[in-house]
Amino acid sequence: MSGKHRKTSLREALALRAVGGVVLGATAVGTVAATAQATAPIIDQSRSGVVAQDRGHAPKDGSRGNATQRKAVKAASVISLAKTQVGVSEDHQGESKFGKWYAETPRAKQTTQRDGGDSTSSYDRAAWCSMFITWLGSKTGFTYQMGADAWTVKHAEWFKDQGRWGTKPKPGAVVFYDWAGGKRISGIDHVGLVVKPLGQGKIETVEGNVGNSVMSKVRSTADVVGYGYPDYAR
């Protein structure tokens, strides 16, 4: 394994089925992907972390959510939670805890419909790096700042639409990669969480769906398309 995705995403899997075995890139998977609009994220509305649907788009300044919630969530808290998941892996059937969790959320129904899927159960075995980030946001009550998606491209577009997108690594930032070295959002194929910048073109991260598990990695910023910035408490 190279430390990169071994599985196709739900969107790619649907494209694979549609064209008889040829996996298409994110920019060429048909009119559904090309015309789909980013839908609203989901937010946690209970202590249990059950995901509920957010009605309407979050403000561009990321102000949705109460002040107490914003103050309570620091980058260190999300990073700490991510580190507790290092070593969590898929089962022998290739299913992940994060895919199973996402499949049960209202957001999964939205993205399944958007991406042309038949059932939310498809997420059980889909590439789950973006669902891992979504899970982190949900469990910390910070979805309105971290977004909620199973498709890396749409997850990145959400950050850009919020006006919280850039090229500087920061602790707790959501980092998006293109292994081909491209710099377009449409080419993104993996996502992780920045632990800290290391300098000299390196970052330390925690990422889901790497070698079938959650892993700590040191990555080259040459593969980074950009970063999404949750508005953490200072």
Which residues on neighbouring strands pair with residue 176, listed in sequence order? 191, 226
Among residues 211, 61, 191, the alpha carbon closest in space to that of 135 is found at 191
Biggest distance spanned by C-alpha atoms of the chain:
51
pLDDT for the residue numbered 10: 56
Task: Check pLDDT > 70 for residue 212.
Answer: yes
Residue showing tokens 């059932």:
119
234 — pLDDT class (breaks 50, 70, 90): confident
Cβ(128)–Cβ(138) under 8 Å?
A: no
pLDDT tens per residue, range 46-97: 323 333 333 333 334 444 444 444 446 999 999 999 999 999 999 999 999 9
Cβ(105)–Cβ(186) under 8 Å?
A: no
Cβ(102)–Cβ(134) under 8 Å?
A: yes
pTM summary value: 0.75
* Distance separating alpha carbons of residues 198 and 226, to the nearest angstrom: 16
45 — pLDDT class (breaks 50, 70, 90): very low
pLDDT for the residue numbered 7: 53
35 — pLDDT class (breaks 50, 70, 90): very low
* Distance separating alpha carbons of residues 33 and 230, to the nearest angstrom: 25
Chain mean pLDDT for the chain: 79
pLDDT for the residue numbered 9: 54
Mean pLDDT of 139-150: 95
